[in-house]
Amino acid sequence: MDDPSPDLLTSFEAQRRAFRKQSPDYGKRLQALRTLERALLARKDDLIWAVADDFGRRAPEETLALELFPVINEIRNARRHLGDWMAERDVEVPWQFWPAHARALYQPLGIVGILSAWNYPLFLSIGPLVGALAAGNHVMMKPSELAPRSAELLASILAGLYPPEYVTVAAGDAGLAAEFCRLPFDRILFTGSTRVGKLVMRAASENLTPVTLELGGKSPALIHPTYSLRRAVERIVNGKLYNAGQTCVAPDYVLLAATLKDEFIRLARESVAQLYPRLASNPDYTRILNGQHYRRLMELVEEARCGGAEVIVINPAGEICDENNRVFPPTLLFGAAGNSRALDEEIFGPVLPVVLYDHLDQAIDYINDHPRPLALYYFDDDGARVRDVLARTTTGGVTVNDCVYHLGVPGLPFGGVGPSGMGQYHGFDGFETFSKKKGILLQRRWTPLAYLRPPYGDTARRILRFILGA
């Protein structure tokens, strides 16, 4: 395994020297966040264009709602609460240690490395940056090379805001990303696939660098038979088709009562037609990122079809949707084989397998028999049943009676569990992830613990019997 390139090492060493000289205090952190917010709002049109250019087409409203709004909300939340987050916290001291006092202090880790994904190039780059800056760190960022326009613009914007020894962007391909992970960061946050996450973790282990992995997986949408099927289908279809399904928390498959299959298909057709009357000529319907990703989706559907699945393509205007225009029509799969890619891999596109169940317990068992997902979407108006389902399943996060939106709440931790990731960020959880919570004991001039020193005698033995209660 080769060492990082001289340029990367030079950037890293410059950041480390600057941090050791003086880590950012409250005022500098607050100013860094204010500056970032102003710049993002001032350049929002440029950011919209860059993302749309990377995808070939994406609605400006989608970039504003799903990327810029949550990032700005994250910044404002951090600015509002930063003073409280940084404050020392008194910690209860057991009576055996009296009269000592104890405190906990959040301290910046140092140099943070952020590797972001291509599907939401702004949100997944700037979101972690907000937490890292709020916690007082210096940051090196590696955006995905699969969204080059967004990466180039982000690098330009950040270079105009901060000196490189405070925040810098390393632009390059997967080879550069591999070198990036071998730098001795104080923490790495990676967003991407489980396969690459394993490589990141392996490289980071050489320096014992802690990692936060935001991966993905197959997030289920479970519909209880008593819930309004129309409402559930409308919200699942909407959540699935944001960014043409290229969303880590998109509903990846549906668990549906078998008796509702025909009605589900009818309502799904209606919902797609209402949202996207046309696909190929509709500026609101996002394209698949590139030909390779498009072919992967085609192969996934074809494998399911050959394995006996019923394939329902929803193309309201009957347009040409192919690899040339990279418009992939919403597609339902019923009866896909359990070992098919459609039910094994994260789909990352507008393909939605539907798994039929007879009893709710059967659906819950299906979720628990598979790797723990990044998100769960449960549709039910019965509060007791909701609590029961959430208690019996383990997932990264949950939205009840809708999809995706828990991701945008800055006060909620975001992160996976098991194969869908480790660690979390957003809001205070992001501040904490990028901090070291330091425990501090303040000893007094006199302490009874002074008697618990060699040579041990009767006094020490009496004290030990007393504090042990025996």
Domain that holds residue 404: 220-415
Does the pLDDT value for residue 182 go beyond 60? yes
- Please state, in angstroms and rounded to a whole number, the distance separating the CA atoms of residues 373 and 217: 5
Per residue in 266-280, pLDDT (tens digit) is 999 999 999 999 999
Same domain, 29 and 133: yes
Per residue in 129-173, pLDDT (tens digit) is 999 999 999 999 999 999 999 999 999 999 999 999 999 999 888
Residue 444 resides in a domain: no
Same domain, 260 and 198: no
Per residue in 325-381, pLDDT (tens digit) is 999 999 999 999 989 999 999 999 999 999 999 999 999 999 999 999 999 999 999
Q: Hey, what amino acid is at 185?
A: F
Same domain, 92 and 155: yes
CB 211 within 8 A of CB 192: no
Same domain, 290 and 384: yes
CB atoms within 10 A of CB 364: 19
**Distances, alpha carbon 438 to alpha carbons 90, 209, 376, in Å:** 12, 18, 34
Which of the residues are catalytic? 214, 248
Residue 119's nearest CA partner among 215, 238, 218, 236 is 215
DSSP 298-366: HHHHHHHHHTT-EEEE--TT----STTTT----EEEES--TTSGGGTS---SSEEEEEEESSHHHHHHH
Per residue in 398-431, pLDDT (tens digit) is 999 999 999 999 999 999 999 999 999 999 999 9
Strand, helix or coil for residue 408: helix
Strand, helix or coil for residue 217: coil
Residue 445 resides in a domain: no
Token pair in block for residue 228: 């309004």
Does the pLDDT value for residue 2 go beyond 80? no
Same domain, 226 and 253: yes
Count helices and strands in the chain by DSSP H and E runs: 16, 16
- Please state, in angstroms and rounded to a whole number, the distance separating the CA atoms of residues 295 and 268: 24
Sequence-separated (6 or more) residues with CB below 8 Å from residue 96: 467
pLDDT of residue 1: 53
Same domain, 279 and 147: no
Same domain, 31 and 64: yes
Residue 305 resides in a domain: yes
Using the Cα atoms of residue 363, residue 364, residue 368 and residue 374 in order, give the sign of their dihedral.
Answer: positive
Using the Cα atoms of residue 455, residue 461, residue 463 and residue 468 in order, give the sign of their dihedral.
Answer: positive
Number of domain units in the chain: 2
Residue 106 resides in a domain: yes
Residue 264 resides in a domain: yes
Cis peptide bond N-terminal to 353, omega within 30: no
Residue 173's nearest CA partner among 192, 146, 199 is 146
Same domain, 399 and 261: yes
Per residue in 86-137, pLDDT (tens digit) is 999 999 998 888 889 999 999 999 999 999 999 999 999 999 999 999 999 9
Does the pLDDT value for residue 25 go beyond 70? yes
pLDDT of residue 460: 85
- Please state, in angstroms and rounded to a whole number, the distance separating the CA atoms of residues 71 and 83: 20
